[in-house]
């Protein structure tokens, strides 16, 4: 993909994940950087008016908690960090809430752990909740759920969380706001002559050496986790911009394609990347026999699979697992991630989607398999 087209592509990105790091948010440990927060919120409101959906991943709970508890240095003990995070998250959310309210936007607090995104069912639940928030114009503000997150279920840094959220909501763009202007060819705190990298493929090995320096005193990740986050985001086709969050109008400038910060580019388009992942990674757990009408709309119109087009359910699968879709002769048509378990699906097949609630008592999604989660196996 041409690198010079890539900034232009930013102007078309419709779904963004914006991650804001601790150093920026907490004015380097001096309390919340409320003026800066107010400006980011204002820019997000502007982006929204331009039709861009934004998910915010915000760090700063531990740093803010330290201020509220009067602690001068970051505690080592995990339970103390958890307390700082819980106390600080209140201040963080309170501030966001009041700033978003000034623009008549409702923000929502979402706390996630690693386990929430590695379990297929919880992954799908988080995904539909976030998608619905975006549809309703609510801005999700995500942080790690530090009170319950211990080592094995921890993201460890919010750069990674931002990337996983970008994968989760199928974002076009991950913007990582930090205290440097972007990624330099060496740590600019140590090497005064270091140069800013403008654009590079996220997969470039040369980036590892450049980003090897450590994090600031408040942040956890440093540049290495940002580069890794860009690679993770690239797996679902998202672009990543690492950029100095203290610059005026930083977000709206990124949206115009202005050459600020560092743009790390994916190798594949978003949907192609997701479909490749779907095609390669999961075993099927069951089979749906679909009727001729459903075969036609899937293959010719690229539509989602609705319960009404399914005649038989085979196998024991859970919501979120991969199933095979076959025609009435048993010929494979597509594989996809199913929105209902086998037991639920058996009750709703052959029925129009508006009857799902009447049958099950709730509706997860109107589709049995959404078209974004469906890979066709025939041309
Ligand atoms: N090549 C590099 N380019 C820019 N910054 C770097 C580089 N290597 C290391 N760093 C350091 O990474 C820091 C940003 O990471 P971190 O403190 O985790 O920020 P955040 O809180 O925004 O996540 C910068 O302040 C910088 O000193
Ligand atoms: N959940 C933690 C995340 C800390 C973190 O990842 O910080 P950073 O590297 O500055 O994004 C907090 O809010 O303090």
Q: Which atom number of ligand 1 is nearest to the Cα of residue 182?
A: 4
Evaluate: CB of 21 within 6 angstroms of ligand 2.
Answer: yes
Residue linked to tokens 């994968």: 167
* Distance from C-alpha of 160 to C-alpha of 75, rounded to nearest angstrom: 22
pTM of the model: 0.84
Evaluate: CB of 178 within 6 angstroms of ligand 2.
Answer: no
CA 159 to chain centre: 10
Give phi and psi for 289, each to the nearest 5: -90, 120
In this structure, the answer to whether residues 140 and 289 fall within a common structural domain is no
**Is there a domain that residue 277 lies in?**
no
In this structure, the answer to whether residues 94 and 8 fall within a common structural domain is yes
In this structure, the answer to whether residues 250 and 296 fall within a common structural domain is no
Q: How far is the CA of 222 from the centre of ligand 2 (A)?
A: 11
In this structure, the answer to whether residues 249 and 342 fall within a common structural domain is no
Contact 45, 295 (CB under 8 A): no
Residue 277 has pLDDT above 90, yes or no: no
In this structure, the answer to whether residues 304 and 262 fall within a common structural domain is no
Give this complex's ipTM.
0.96
**Is there a domain that residue 19 lies in?**
yes
Evaluate: CB of 163 within 6 angstroms of ligand 2.
Answer: no
In this structure, the answer to whether residues 332 and 259 fall within a common structural domain is no
Q: Which atom number of ligand 1 is nearest to the Cα of residue 22?
A: 21
User: Of 235, 268, 301, which closes a domain?
Assistant: 268
Nearest to 286 by CA among 260, 268, 259, 312: 312
Which domain, by its residues, includes 311? Answer: 282-376
Evaluate: CB of 286 within 6 angstroms of ligand 1.
Answer: no
The best mutation among 86, 157, 229 to test binding of ligand 2, ranked by most ligand atoms within 8 Å of the C-beta, falls on 157
Contact 262, 241 (CB under 8 A): yes
Tens of pLDDT, residue by residue over 289-299, are: 999 999 999 99
- 3-state secondary structure string across 254-276: HHCCCCCCEEEECCCCHHHHHHH
Tens of pLDDT, residue by residue over 147-200, are: 988 777 787 789 999 999 998 999 999 999 999 999 999 999 899 999 999 999
Q: How far is the CA of 5 from the centre of ligand 1 (A)?
A: 27
Q: Which two tokens stand for residue 63?
A: 């740093």
Helix and strand element counts for the chain (H, E): 15, 13
Binding positions for substrate: 59, 146, 158
Q: Which two tokens stand for residue 188?
A: 């600019």
Contact 298, 333 (CB under 8 A): yes
């Amino acid at each position: 993909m041409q690198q010079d087209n890539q900034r232009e592509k930013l102007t078309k990105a419709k779904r963004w994940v914006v991650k804001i790091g601790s150093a920026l948010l907490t004015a380097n440990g001096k309390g919340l950087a409320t003026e800066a927060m107010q400006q980011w919120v204002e820019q997000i409101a502007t982006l929204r008016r331009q039709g861009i959906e934004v998910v915010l991943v915000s760090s700063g709970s531990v740093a803010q908690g330290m201020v509220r508890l009067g602690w001068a240095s970051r505690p080592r003990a995990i339970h103390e960090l958890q307390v700082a995070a819980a106390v600080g998250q209140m201040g963080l959310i309170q501030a966001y809430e009041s700033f978003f309210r000034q623009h008549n936007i409702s923000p929502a607090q979402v706390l996630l752990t690693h386990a929430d995104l590695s379990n297929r069912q919880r992954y799908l639940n988080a995904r539909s909740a976030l998608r619905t928030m975006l549809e309703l114009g609510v801005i999700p503000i995500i942080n790690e759920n530090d009170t319950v997150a211990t080592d094995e279920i921890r993201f460890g840094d919010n750069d990674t969380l931002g990337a996983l959220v970008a994968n989760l909501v199928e974002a076009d763009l991950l913007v990582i706001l930090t205290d440097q202007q972007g990624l330099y060819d060496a740590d600019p705190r140590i090497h005064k002559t270091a140069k800013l990298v403008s654009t590079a493929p996220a997969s470039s090995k040369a980036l590892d050496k450049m980003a090897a320096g450590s994090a600031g005193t408040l942040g956890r990740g440093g540049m290495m986790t940002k580069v890794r986050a860009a690679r993770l985001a690239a797996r679902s086709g998202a672009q990543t911009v690492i950029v100095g969050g203290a610059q005026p109008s930083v977000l709206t400038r990124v949206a115009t394609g202005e050459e600020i910060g560092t743009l790390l580019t994916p190798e594949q388009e978003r949907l192609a990347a997701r479909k490749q992942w779907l095609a390669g990674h999961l075993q099927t757990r069951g089979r749906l026999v679909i009727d001729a009408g459903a075969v036609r709309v899937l293959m010719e119109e690229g539509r989602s699979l609705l319960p009404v087009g399914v005649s038989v359910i085979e196998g024991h699968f859970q919501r979120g697992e991969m199933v095979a879709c076959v025609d009435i002769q048993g010929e494979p048509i597509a594989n996809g991630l199913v929105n209902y378990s086998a037991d639920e699906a058996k009750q709703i097949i052959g029925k129009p989607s508006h009857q799902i609630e009447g049958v099950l008592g709730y509706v997860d999604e109107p589709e049995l398999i959404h078209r974004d989660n469906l890979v066709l196996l025939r041309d």
